[in-house]
Amino acid sequence: MKKEFNDTGTCIASGHYMVDTSNKIAESLDLINRGKYFIINRPRQYGKTTTLYLLEEKLKKLDDYLPIKISFEGIGDTAFRSQEEFCPFFLEYLAEEFYVKKLGLSSIFTSRITNGMTNFKALSSAITDICTELGKKVVLMIDEVDKSSNNQLFLHFLGMLRDKYLKTSEGRDTSFYSVVLAGVHDVKTLKLKLRPDEEAKYNSPWNIAVDYKVDLSFSAKEIETMLTDFVNCTKTEMNIPQIAEELFFYTNGYPYFVSKLCKIIDEEIKPEKWEKEVVVEAIKILMVTKNNTNFDNVIKNLENNPGLSNLVEKIILGNAEISYDPSIPLVNLGEIHGILTCSNKNKVKIFNKIIEEKISNYLIGKIETEGRSVNTTQSIHLKPDGRLDMKKVLLKFQEVIEEKYSKSDLMKSSEFLENDLRMLFLVFLKPIINGTGFSFKEAQTSAERRLDVVVLFNDEKFIVELKMWYGEEYHLQGIEQIKDYMQREHCQEGYMIVMSKKLDKKFISTDENGIFTIWL
């Protein structure tokens, strides 16, 4: 069987090029060995199902363990309507898993399923009998736990497991040795009403669970292991560490995007040699791919949560810097759905550059449909050889700002740059680079400012910094910062948009020391 990069479902080593996650699995197994209950809550397509599969495979090889893995995905709403329907369903589900494993234990289940299995007390008793009779450490793993259509019933089920866990630790019951749940949401945050008529008092039935701190994202070194597997199988030429770093740079280790980009390169671009440029080419293809469920989920969650959408817009199109605090509801919501994360400076940022570009296109599309866009075309900003003429782009942008805003009170406000100028520039830029390039924000190494926009167009990178005029000394510092970045990224030219209230600095352009600057 020929191997391939997998971007859907469970990854299987025999058929897929895979990252070596043995360290992550070992950390997870350590929790199971210690009899812990925990939930793997990560965004969609983040490797949760594959992690459960690999854990199950490891446990199968241990004589004293018996792993049972089920999923709540695709089972419909009927099973969650009531205890009378859920309890026999759950036991039947377990019986099927035992049958698949050919353990010859169906008789343990049949009498209990047909004998008044109508409530959680009966189910609890059945679990006690089964775990006692098996005489092994039974590990229950449930995937897609947040697919339950009845939160209260599911939480009562968790409450039953919690009660058994506590009694077992006291020697008064026998239950699953470890329970591992997997889903997008952390069920520890779901609350159970103590009584049906009680509105104010809530309690979590899953406070027995330990935090799952295993990092399921891929580091550049881990990505190298998958690329090495690919090279060994195909003999494709590539600088493995360089390509791994490039993949990590754009994906921030999000498992789905790492595999998806590799799949596009391997199956659609098909280069004889993998260079850094093919990663950018794969991102361009990904951006215009229809029916991408990951992108669809991101946009759906923004549309369904106006507060989150506003926050994301401020981060991408504005200049919002928000201290990272996962207890902030909108920040937590953004993390749950793989949209937001914490930067190395403890600030909230968009998870990776691919998601940032997709959301940026979405937000700018909304602005365009509202009639707030600036009409512009790509062709007049290109050089004869098809390369982007960034000087023309900036001069045209300067012309638009002078024409539309020079007499506006906005230009007199120091908040104009922070709140509006970046958005206007990105809205102006998108039609020019659309389909051929993309842009993203890049962090600045200096604490003073950050580079605002990096534009990729074909195989060229353009650095554009937007800033206020705070005097000559500060301006010279900014020039040194952009020069440093140009050197690290091997760029011959840099670009600046400087907003100044000085009359002699307005609406002129300068081209010095390899930096082209327009003044507004």
Q: Residue 464: what are its φ and ψ, rounded to 5°? A: -125, 120
- What pLDDT sits at residue 200? 37
Alpha carbon of residue 505 to chain centroid: 43
> Which of 458, 289, 430 lies closest to 357, judged by CA?
430
Q: Tell me whether residue 515 is in a domain.
A: yes
> Which of 421, 416, 458, 297 lies closest to 362, judged by CA?
297
Q: Give the 3-state secondary structure of residue 77.
A: coil
- Mean local confidence (pLDDT), 67-96: 86
> Helix 83-100 vs helix 106-113: angle between axes, to the nearest 10 degrees?
170
Contact 485, 463 (CB under 8 A): yes
What does the block give as tokens for 478?
A: 């900014």
- Residue 185 sits in the same domain as residue 319: no
- Residue 351 sits in the same domain as residue 309: yes
Question: What confidence tens digit (pLDDT) does each residue in 266-306 have?
Answer: 999 999 999 999 999 999 899 988 889 999 999 999 999 99
Question: What confidence tens digit (pLDDT) does each residue in 416-461 have?
Answer: 555 677 788 888 888 888 767 778 776 554 434 455 788 888 878 8
Q: Give the 3-state secondary structure of residue 437.
A: strand
Q: Tell me whether residue 349 is in a domain.
A: yes
CA dist., res. 481 & res. 499, Å (int): 18
- Residue 184 sits in the same domain as residue 326: no
Domain residue limits at 131: 22-203
Q: Tell me whether residue 11 is in a domain.
A: no
Work out how many domains the chain is built from and give that number.
4
Strands 65-71 and 137-143: parallel
**Model-level pTM?**
0.87
Mean pLDDT of the chain: 85
- CA-CA-CA-CA torsion sign (418, 421, 423, 425): negative
- Which of 266, 287, 308 is the last residue before a domain boundary? 287
- Residue 182 sits in the same domain as residue 54: yes
Burial of 473: CB neighbours in 10 Å, binned 0-12, 13-18, 19+: exposed
Q: What is the CATH number of the domain that holds 119?
A: 3.40.50
- Which of 243, 271, 287 is the last residue before a domain boundary? 287
CA dist., res. 189 & res. 192, Å (int): 10
Q: Tell me whether residue 4 is in a domain.
A: no
- Residue 34 sits in the same domain as residue 181: yes
- Compute the CA torsion angle 187, 188, 190, 192 (nearest 10 deg): 120
- Residue 89 sits in the same domain as residue 195: yes
Question: What confidence tens digit (pLDDT) does each residue in 382-421 have?
Answer: 888 888 899 999 999 988 888 877 666 555 555 555 567 7
Q: Tell me whether residue 191 is in a domain.
A: yes
Question: What confidence tens digit (pLDDT) does each residue in 170-213 have?
Answer: 999 999 999 999 999 887 766 554 455 544 345 667 889 999 99
**DSSP secondary structure string for all residues of 317-335:** HS----B--TTSHHHHHHH
68, β-bridge pairs: 140
- Residue 381 sits in the same domain as residue 495: yes
- CA-CA-CA-CA torsion sign (39, 145, 26, 247): negative
Contact 119, 156 (CB under 8 A): no
- Residue 91 sits in the same domain as residue 198: yes
- What pLDDT sits at residue 104? 60
CA dist., res. 80 & res. 237, Å (int): 52
CA dist., res. 431 & res. 362, Å (int): 13
CA dist., res. 365 & res. 352, Å (int): 20
- Residue 300 sits in the same domain as residue 181: no
Q: How far lies 77's CA from each of 52, 148, 151, 183, 335, in Å?
A: 24, 8, 11, 17, 27
Q: CB count, 10 Å around CB of 446?
A: 14
CA dist., res. 316 & res. 318, Å (int): 6
Q: Tell me whether residue 14 is in a domain.
A: no
Q: What is the CATH number of the domain that holds 453?
A: 3.40.91
Amino acid identity of 182? A
